[in-house]
């Protein structure tokens, strides 16, 4: 059976129910109502993709791919070693990461939810981090990436927006252990790497002690696979 939803009514009811600070984020889902500042920022951040080639010495960059569905494994200490680093062309890497639509949604969420300290699992070239750092709230970002080459590229991308970031070139589990031992606390954790059902649940549980009361967990690519959605 097909059910038609009146999206205008749905949007209006949703906006009426949500705290008003979240209205710009919710509105964005229905209509890309860019303001001038957002247009300018998106143009600037997206232009970074074109310059990535000049930052990669031999035309390739390494990254850790997501595990095949069902292949996620933990060692005896309950930690994941991630996928082996794989080389791919700079042009392939220039296309990864959030685009302006997702990036500006993240930016609106930073301001709407009042995020001052954010943890990101999966820096890649720094695109999502740059959008979050560009928020009016001027948050502090801690971002984790297993590929040293990508960390070097991301340093430029993030540095164009703010100096308030910490890069950790580590496995997600190693970084979480370090942050827990430091007593770090975050308003939000953005999980954007190792897209697999068990990995998603694993990291959701592992970062829980790092969240402040009322903190928020955000997952990218939740419709990536049935497993991700199930998680
Ligand atoms: C989808 S990309 C992140 C995209 C980025 N958040 C953005 O939107 O611009 C995922 C990144 O996570 C890294 N990664 C995946 N598994 C990892 C792990 N277990 N430890 C550290 N880094 C990992 C990969 O190397 C890759 O660069």
pLDDT of 54-71, one tens digit each? 988 789 999 998 888 888
- Residue 28 domain-assigned (yes or no): no
* pTM for this entry: 0.95
CA of 92 to the centre of ligand 1 (A): 14
CA of 66 to the centre of ligand 1 (A): 8
β-bridge mates for residue 165, sequence order? 141
- Residue 176 domain-assigned (yes or no): yes
Residue 1, pLDDT score: 67
Residue 4, pLDDT above cutoff 80? no
Residue 70, pLDDT score: 82
- Residue 218 domain-assigned (yes or no): yes
Separation between Cα atoms, residue 105 and residue 128, nearest integer Å: 10
- Residue 202 domain-assigned (yes or no): yes
The pLDDT of 89-102, averaged and rounded, is 94
**Domain of residue 93, CATH code:** 3.40.50.150
The pLDDT of 133-139, averaged and rounded, is 98
SS3 140: strand
Separation between Cα atoms, residue 75 and residue 173, nearest integer Å: 11
Q: Binning pLDDT at 50, 70 and 90, where does residue 45 land? A: very high
87: domain range?
61-230
Residue 68, pLDDT score: 83
Mutual orientation of helices 23-30 and 100-113 as an angle, nearest 10°?
Answer: 160
Pocket-testing residue among 65, 103, 124, ligand 1, by greatest number of atoms within 8 A of Cβ: 124
Q: How many domains does the chain have?
A: 1
- Residue 41 domain-assigned (yes or no): no
Residue 6, pLDDT above cutoff 90? no
- Residue 24 domain-assigned (yes or no): no
């Amino acid at each position: 059976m097909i059910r038609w939803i009146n999206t205008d009514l749905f949007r209006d009811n949703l906006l009426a129910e949500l705290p008003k600070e979240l209205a710009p984020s919710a509105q964005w889902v229905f209509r890309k109502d860019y303001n001038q500042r957002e247009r300018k920022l998106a143009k600037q951040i997206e232009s970074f993709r074109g310059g990535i080639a000049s930052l990669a010495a031999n035309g390739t960059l390494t990254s850790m791919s997501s595990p095949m569905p069902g292949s996620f494994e933990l060692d005896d200490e309950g930690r994941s070693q991630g996928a082996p680093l794989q080389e791919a062309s700079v042009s392939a890497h220039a296309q990864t990461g959030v685009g302006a639509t997702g990036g500006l949604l993240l930016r609106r969420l930073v301001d709407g939810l009042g995020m001052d300290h954010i943890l990101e699992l999966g820096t890649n070239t720094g695109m999502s981090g740059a959008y979050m750092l560009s928020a009016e709230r001027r948050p502090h970002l801690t971002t984790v990436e297993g590929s040293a080459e990508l960390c070097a590229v991301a340093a430029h991308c993030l540095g164009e927006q703010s100096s308030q970031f910490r890069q950790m070139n580590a496995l997600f589990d190693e970084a979480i252990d370090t942050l827990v031992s430091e007593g770090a606390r975050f308003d939000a954790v953005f999980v954007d790497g190792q897209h697999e059902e068990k990995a998603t649940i694993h990291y959701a549980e592992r970062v829980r002690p790092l969240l402040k009361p009322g903190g928020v967990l955000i997952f990218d690519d939740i419709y990536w696979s049935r497993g991700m959605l199930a998680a």
